[in-house]
Amino acid sequence: MLRWSIATVCMGGTLETKLSAAARAGFRAIEIFENDLTFFSGKPREARAMADDLGLEIIALQPMRDFEGMPEPARAKNLDRAERKFDLMEELGTSLLSLCSNVSEDSSGDIDRCAADLAELAGRAATRGFRIGYEALAWGRHVHDWMQAWEIVRRADRPNLGIVLDSFHICARKNPIPPIAQIPADRIALVQIADAPGLMMDPMSLSRHHRCFPGQGDWPMDEYLEAALATGYAGPVSLEIFNDQFRGAPPNSIARDGMRSLQICGERLDAARKTRGLSPLNPGRALPEPAKISGVEFIEFVTSAAQSPRLAGELEGLGFRRVAHHRSKDVDLFRQNGVNIVVNREQEGFAHSFYLVHGTSVCALALAFDDPKRALERANALAAQTYFGRTGPGEAQIPAVAGVENSLIYLMKETPEGSSTWDQDFQFDAAAAHSGPLKRIDHLSNVVRRTEFYSWITFYKSVLGFTDEPQVELADPYGAFFSRVISAPGGAVRIPLNIAEGGSTGVSRFIENFGGGGVQQIALSTDDIFSFVEQARARGVAFLDIPGNYYEDLSARYDLEPALIERMRALGILYDRHKSGEFFHIYTKMFDQRFFFEVLERRGYDLFGAANTPIRLAAQASEQDEAMRQRRMLETE
Ligand code: MG
């Protein structure tokens, strides 16, 4: 049976809030970082009582530093220091002291000296019934790889001395992972787990600021856990994350994210074991399998009666038709082929409160599942917040989970286009046609607050069973932003999640204008973008102005027919190419500086046109600057 644990250092706040957040998220074990005790107003035994009351076992006190290989008198002093730690452990009721490899320039790298020091420490710990765990820090003065730490533990040869494995140090140093499986299980004191993004950075800075939960970064967490557990190790697996963003976030949500990330680690481990005919590590605690997602059933906008005609005009310009009105609510359905857009003007309830905070915006997405009941069970098993809205007599009750900024993600049963599910809630206008040039929703881009980026990645990956691609950095005229594409298996729903570092980037301005994260872009696909744009322009749709230089550059970069480039220039269409695939796309002007549509035509191209993102951002920035200039002129008149 796998036992999950979390180190107090992962979370911000007082020791009390950290312990209760861990327990609330379902943890039964915790590592206590000594600083948390230093800042704690009570006595260590009161911390123990608190942990007991919450059903938390304190599995370790961490860390003891700069111990092994020191010259006298530092060596003797260190042994005294250890006795004081033992006293503390006595009060805390924990039996393991975690020791990090020495970083002091006074220390010796002599392996036998270090082993002798650890043997002595372990001997003293044994008289008190305690164990010592020794961990190689990636930036240790002499010991920085797990193989070195293991050799010292092996030579010290004490039954109560083991190695602490930590995926962070092991991956940061690119240490070999498979040989971990050869360590005898009873010589592993603790298995710690932390992921990190694939940034080129010195290990100490990476460790102190960028560690993240498994699955949020780019490192081989599954391979690591498989190797560590292949030893037969049956102790706790503990999250140890140093990250400023985590400590700045509410501890409850960090503990919940940590638990979710571990639950899906366990799920993947057991899936891998099953294919090898092995028994599960998590018997009886398996999550309901993710339900299969076949697409976005609808996108719901909320707006007011006053703003509604402008939004309807925008949608009709893109070729959507208002085909139905809700039987009991002030809600319209716009449709074009298989794309459904719901426009909600209700004056009460969830959508209206969303409108009051965010203005005209996307308040909900409905994803189509093969088995929405199982999707809901999984969401509950992963502690997602669920929502059941008000419905009229005979109307469909659709469960939802809370998404970014408390928007909703409806869990719907997949339906063939135009099927009766819609008839239950909507009165259709028999005369309204819904064919048009736009065929399907290609992707949606979601802007999230920087502090919530990892949290939403874990949400989509765990609750909805999405997968993610490596993070990319994109240039913005006012800074940089980061994007990571998450998608439902099979690619039926793809969502680039975007965050910004800079104060004035398009992403940051969106967060400011919108009052938080949300859907910024809806990309719709067509089979003939040229005729679509001609018709849409004729209907008065305003597309983003693309500077002429872009097309000069295009003709220099690609061997394209001058007539084709001229046509793109005349219509404002952008172009990208990858291998033999071609991509044509265009953006509408922003609606209230909050969202915009992209229309695209893929010709054997599967990317997102990121090469053109800087030109889009620059054009949107100058559009925003112009809007602001005009507003200021009006104000001064
Ligand atoms: Mg560690």
Same domain, 265 and 328: no
Give pLDDT, residue 6. Answer: 98
Kindly report which listed range (36-50, 319-333, 560-574, 620-634) carries the lowest average pLDDT score. 620-634
Amino acid at 423: D
Q: How close is the Cα of 166 to the center of ligand 1, in Å?
A: 5
Alpha-carbon distance 101 to 132, whole Å?
12
Spatial contact of 315 and 332, defined as CB atoms under 8 Å apart: no
Please name the helix (run of DSSP H) or strand (run of DSSP E) that holds residue 46, with its range, or none: helix 44-53
Coil, strand or helix at 555: helix
Alpha-carbon distance 320 to 306, whole Å?
20
Give pLDDT, residue 531. Answer: 97
Mean pLDDT of 312-331: 95
- The CATH number that applies at residue 558 is 3.10.180.10
Give pLDDT, residue 502. Answer: 63
As given in the structure block, the two tokens for residue 611 are 């090469």
The domain total for the chain is 3
Same domain, 207 and 252: yes
Give pLDDT, residue 451. Answer: 84
Please name the helix (run of DSSP H) or strand (run of DSSP E) that holds residue 258, with its range, or none: helix 251-275
**Of the candidates 570, 562, 560, the residue with the CA atom closest to the CA atom of residue 529:** 570
Q: How close is the Cα of 278 to the center of ligand 1, in Å?
A: 29
Same domain, 423 and 461: no
Same domain, 60 and 200: yes
Q: Of 253, 275, 297, which residue constitutes the final position of a domain?
A: 275
**Of the candidates 453, 446, 457, 456, the residue with the CA atom closest to the CA atom of residue 518:** 446
Same domain, 399 and 538: no
Per-residue pLDDT tens digits for 61-79: 999 999 999 999 999 999 9
Q: How close is the Cα of 120 to the center of ligand 1, in Å?
A: 22
Give pLDDT, residue 386. Answer: 92
Flag whether 134 is in a domain: yes
Q: How close is the Cα of 91 to the center of ligand 1, in Å?
A: 23
As given in the structure block, the two tokens for residue 176 are 């070999």
Give pLDDT, residue 390. Answer: 73
Q: How close is the Cα of 66 to the center of ligand 1, in Å?
A: 14
Alpha-carbon distance 486 to 474, whole Å?
17
Q: How close is the Cα of 167 to the center of ligand 1, in Å?
A: 8
Same domain, 294 and 399: yes
Give pLDDT, residue 532. Answer: 97
Same domain, 326 and 448: no
Same domain, 323 and 196: no
Q: How close is the Cα of 207 to the center of ligand 1, in Å?
A: 10
Q: Which of the four pLDDT bands, split at 50, 70 and 90, describes residue 335?
A: very high
Flag whether 503 is in a domain: yes
Record the pTM: 0.92
Note the helical H segments in 495-611.
506-514, 529-538, 548-557, 562-571
Q: Of 409, 436, 463, which residue constitutes the final position of a domain?
A: 436
Flag whether 472 is in a domain: yes
Mean pLDDT of 90-94: 96
The number of angstroms, rounded, from the C-alpha of 87 to the middle of its chain's C-alpha atoms is 40
What residues contact 132, with CB distance under 8 A and at least 6 apart? 96, 97, 99, 118, 121, 122, 125, 158, 160, 161, 162, 189
CA quadruple 568, 573, 577, 582: dihedral positive or negative? negative
Q: How close is the Cα of 561 to the center of ligand 1, in Å?
A: 58
Mean pLDDT of 393-419: 84
Q: Which residues surround ligand 1, an ion (CB under 5 A)?
A: 166, 192, 240
Q: Of 420, 436, 452, which residue constitutes the final position of a domain?
A: 436
Coil, strand or helix at 79: helix
Q: Which of the four pLDDT bands, split at 50, 70 and 90, describes residue 507?
A: confident
As given in the structure block, the two tokens for residue 530 are 């040229």
Amino acid at 400: A
Laid out side by side, the sheet with 321-326 consists of 386-388, 399-402, 408-413, 361-369, 293-302, 339-344, 331-336, 321-326, 426-428
528: left (phi over 0), alpha (psi -120 to 50) or beta: beta
As beta bridge partners, residue 237 has 4, 191
Q: How close is the Cα of 135 to the center of ligand 1, in Å?
A: 7
- φ, ψ of residue 576 in degrees (nearest 5): -145, 160
As given in the structure block, the two tokens for residue 536 are 């849409």
Alpha-carbon distance 51 to 55, whole Å?
6
pLDDT > 80? residue 270 = yes
- φ, ψ of residue 533 in degrees (nearest 5): -65, -40
DSSP 229-251: HHTT--SEEEE----HHHHHS-H
As beta bridge partners, residue 321 has 335
Q: Which of the four pLDDT bands, split at 50, 70 and 90, describes residue 635?
A: confident
Q: How close is the Cα of 239 to the center of ligand 1, in Å?
A: 9
Flag whether 282 is in a domain: no
- The CATH number that applies at residue 160 is 3.20.20.150
Give pLDDT, residue 395. Answer: 75
Same domain, 269 and 250: yes
Q: How far apart are the first and last CA of the chain?
A: 72
Note the helical H segments in 93-201.
111-127, 146-156, 167-172
Q: How close is the Cα of 168 to the center of ligand 1, in Å?
A: 7
Kindly report which listed range (3-17, 132-146, 193-207, 519-533) carries the lowest average pLDDT score. 193-207
Give pLDDT, residue 418. Answer: 55
As given in the structure block, the two tokens for residue 225 are 């856990």
Q: How close is the Cα of 151 to the center of ligand 1, in Å?
A: 18
Q: How close is the Cα of 259 to the center of ligand 1, in Å?
A: 18
Flag whether 406 is in a domain: yes
Q: How close is the Cα of 539 to the center of ligand 1, in Å?
A: 61
**Of the candidates 407, 299, 306, the residue with the CA atom closest to the CA atom of residue 353:** 407
Alpha-carbon distance 88 to 110, whole Å?
30
Flag whether 281 is in a domain: no
Q: How close is the Cα of 556 to the center of ligand 1, in Å?
A: 52
Q: How close is the Cα of 616 to the center of ligand 1, in Å?
A: 43
Kindly report which listed range (128-132, 252-256, 264-268, 509-513) carries the lowest average pLDDT score. 509-513
Same domain, 22 and 122: yes
Q: How close is the Cα of 136 to the center of ligand 1, in Å?
A: 8
Give the chain's mean pLDDT.
92
**C-alpha R_g of the chain:** 28
Spatial contact of 221 and 173, defined as CB atoms under 8 Å apart: no
Spatial contact of 399 and 300, defined as CB atoms under 8 Å apart: no
Give pLDDT, residue 508. Answer: 79
Mean pLDDT of 157-169: 98
Q: How close is the Cα of 563 to the center of ligand 1, in Å?
A: 61
CA quadruple 566, 572, 574, 580: dihedral positive or negative? negative
Q: How close is the Cα of 236 to the center of ligand 1, in Å?
A: 13
Domain that holds residue 552: 439-637
Give pLDDT, residue 505. Answer: 77
Q: How close is the Cα of 492 to the center of ligand 1, in Å?
A: 39
Same domain, 254 and 306: no
Flag whether 43 is in a domain: yes
Same domain, 324 and 259: no
Q: What angle do CA 372, 377, 382 make, to 5 degrees?
A: 125
Q: How close is the Cα of 223 to the center of ligand 1, in Å?
A: 18
Per-residue pLDDT tens digits for 410-455: 999 988 765 667 888 899 988 878 899 999 999 999 988 888 899 9
Mean pLDDT of 571-592: 95
Q: How close is the Cα of 137 to the center of ligand 1, in Å?
A: 8
Flag whether 280 is in a domain: no
